[in-house]
Every structure is written in structure tokens, then in C-alpha cells.
Amino acid sequence: TYALSNSCSHGVKISCVFYVYRVGKAALDSVNLKGHSFLTLKDFNAEEIKHILWVSADLKHRIKHRGEYVPLLQGKSIAMIFEKRSTRTRMSTETGFSLLGGHPCFLTPQDIHLGVNESTTDTARVLSGLADVVLARVYSHSSLEHLDIDASIPIINGLSDLYHPIQVLADLLTLQEHYGSLKGLTLAWIGDGNNVLHSFMMSLAKLGVNLKVATPKGYEPDANVTQEAQLLSKQFGTKLQFLMDPMETARDSSVLVTDTWVSMGQEEEKKKRLKDFLGYQITMQTGSVAAPDWTFLHCLPRKAEEVDDEVFYSPRSLVFTEAENRKWTIMGLMVCILTDYTPQIPKLKF
């Protein structure tokens, strides 16, 4: 043990110490995400996604249920760039980072405007010397890719036009908690082919979850993402279906999911979008053809035309647990990419 500790002070990763001091199943976990950026779930395999969820569940158990103080990020700081307004992403990141002993720094477009007052390259390099990690909520996914190229610290996608991976982490943890396992579930997406759907498409097959998608004509998911999702479905032996009929999509599905029909930046299209999405509202009638134990998810904010009150406020709705899990999963992700922490609870069943 002493020899390993000496080695660690000369460049070997501290994870070596955990392997010495921790025995049993947890010590056998070989996933190491320290220093990794998190731009899309496309870049993460099944075991890495499961590991993030395991760490998230562990932190939730230790901090929420056992009342422990777990300052794993003490002395660390996060720069939070927000080109778009936010409730859940900002609150979950600020409160979560603080709860772990770190210091969050919130930057609005008035504080930092990527590529305008200062080049994105220069911003990435400056922040790399001032913070330990950057979370950016941006319009264009290319902004994140540019930051990641020039930064020497991890970059987290807080939302982009193409992906919203931290939302899907929360959804996956919520479903794992509710059903006890993810494998074999069928998720029905009924709505717009947007960034949240894209993140589901890049992750569900890896976890053994089937996906059915219903979008109005003209609102299908990105063609490149679809092509990659089809390859993943074939590789992992799951079902992936694209339909236009919401009822057929809901049939025998375990989870009904929708999202806003009018995202930020699409306000001028609102009238047309509401017309095009007629018939896509999720109601108890939609649920009548789903699996007997069906549940409902929505990443919020929600409008009544997307899902009626009867479903949204029903016991089948997991939306508020889902919203809370935004905090635990962003905490789990940050711990994974900034530390060598090994969870104390048994591995989750997937």
C-alpha cells in the first residue's frame, strides 16, 4: 500500500489507492471517467453510463437518505455558461456542486458571449486556468465541440440544439428506481424529434431498452442520429420503431414520454407547431393501450397541450422525481469526471 501511495505522488492515478483500500465487488469496477468531457451519450458505452447512474444513486442515498456530508469536490470550481435560461439545469448544478463542497460560478450572456467579445478558443483556455470543469448550455452543439477542442478541462453539455444528455441521465435513474431494472422496458416518445429524443436514441439500446417514436411529418429526429441509433439497435438487439400514430406508439409501452412542442428560439413557429401536433397530447386514453404498469415522463417545463392534467398529476407521472434526479445525476457525473470515487452501495440492477 505504501509503495502504491508513493507512486501516486509521482503521476499514477489515485484510483490505485481505492483498489488497495476497498475490497469486494466495488473494487472490481474498472470504469474510469476522470477527465472525460460529456457532450453526448453517443461517446459512452453501457458500462460507463451504468457507472454514472451508480455513483448518482450512491450520492442520493448517502446525502439525502443518510444525511451525510460528502465533500468530494471541495476546493474545486465549475464555470457555468448559459446562453439559454434555465430552471432545473442551473439549480441542479449550482446546488449539487455546492453540496459536494465545490464552488459554482454562473455566467450569463451578459458575462460571457461565446465567440463575440472573445473567441471561443480564448474563452476555453482562460476558463481552463480558472475552473476545474465547464458546463455550457448553448444554442449550437458546435460551440461545445469548439470549447472541448481548446479546453484542457472537461466540458459538460448542459443542453444544445442536438443533444441533452444530462436530462436523459436523470430519466434513466428515475426509471431504474421505479422499475428496479431498465432492460426490457419499451419507451414511447410522442412529440417532437428534438435533442432529448436524440439523447435517448444514443443510450437506450445500450441498456437493453426498446424505443418507439411518433412524430408529426416534418418533425422527425435528425437523420444522422437516426442512422446511428438504428446501428445501435441492431448491435444490442433492441427494437427501434418510427411511427406517426401516437396510439400505436403507446401500445404495450412501459413509459410514455413527451417534451415541449415549442422550444426556446421557436416562438415564432408556435401557431404552426400547435396545429401540426394536434392529436399528440398524452391523455389517459393514450395510456389505455400502454403496458399495465405504464409511467409518464416530461423534462419540463410542461404545457397542457402536450399532456393533460389527469396524466401529469397522476400517480403514474414521475416528472417531479425526474426533476429532482437532475441534481443527483449531475452530481454523479461531476464526481465521475473530477474524482476517483467508488460508490459504497451495491451496484444497481440494469
Confirm whether 27 is domain-assigned: no
- The verdict on whether 105 is a catalytic residue reads no
- Among residues 8, 16, 105, 299, the one annotated as catalytic is 299
Say if residue 212 is in the same domain as residue 253. Answer: yes
Say if residue 144 is in the same domain as residue 205. Answer: no
Say if residue 202 is in the same domain as residue 316. Answer: yes
Say if residue 83 is in the same domain as residue 204. Answer: no
Say if residue 88 is in the same domain as residue 201. Answer: no
Domain count, the chain: 2
Say if residue 314 is in the same domain as residue 173. Answer: yes
Confirm whether 65 is domain-assigned: yes
Say if residue 158 is in the same domain as residue 171. Answer: no
Write the secondary structure of the chain as one string of H (helix), E (strand) and C (coil).
CHHHHHHHCCCCCCHHHHHHHCCCHHHHCCCCCCCCCECCHHHCCHHHHHHHHHHHHHHHHHHHHCCCCCCCCCCCEEEEEECCCCCHHHHHHHHHHHHCCCEEEEECCCCCCECCCECHHHHHHHHHHHCCEEEEECCCHHHHHHHHHHCCCCEEEEECCCCCHHHHHHHHHHHHHHHCCCCCCEEEEECCCCHHHHHHHCCCHHHCCEEEEECCCCCCCCHHHHHHHHHHHHHHCCCEEEECCHHHHHCCCCEEEECCCCCCCCHHHHHHHHHHCCCCCECHHHHCCCCCCCEEEECCCCCCCCECHHHHCCCCECHHHHHHHHHHHHHHHHHHHHCCCCCCCCCCCC
Confirm whether 10 is domain-assigned: no
Say if residue 195 is in the same domain as residue 150. Answer: no
pLDDT digit string (tens) for the chain, length 350 residues: 333 344 444 444 333 333 332 333 433 458 999 999 999 999 999 999 999 999 999 999 999 999 999 999 999 999 999 998 899 999 999 999 999 999 999 998 888 877 677 899 999 999 999 999 999 999 999 999 999 999 999 999 999 999 999 999 999 999 999 999 999 999 999 999 999 999 999 999 999 999 999 999 999 999 999 999 999 999 999 999 999 999 999 999 999 999 999 876 666 788 899 999 999 999 999 999 999 999 999 999 999 999 999 999 999 999 999 999 999 999 999 999 999 999 999 999 99
Say if residue 183 is in the same domain as residue 214. Answer: yes
Confirm whether 198 is domain-assigned: yes
Say if residue 76 is in the same domain as residue 142. Answer: yes
Output the domain CATH number for residue 100. 3.40.50.1370
Confirm whether 16 is domain-assigned: no
- What domain range includes position 52? 41-163+327-338
Say if residue 57 is in the same domain as residue 126. Answer: yes
Say if residue 187 is in the same domain as residue 87. Answer: no
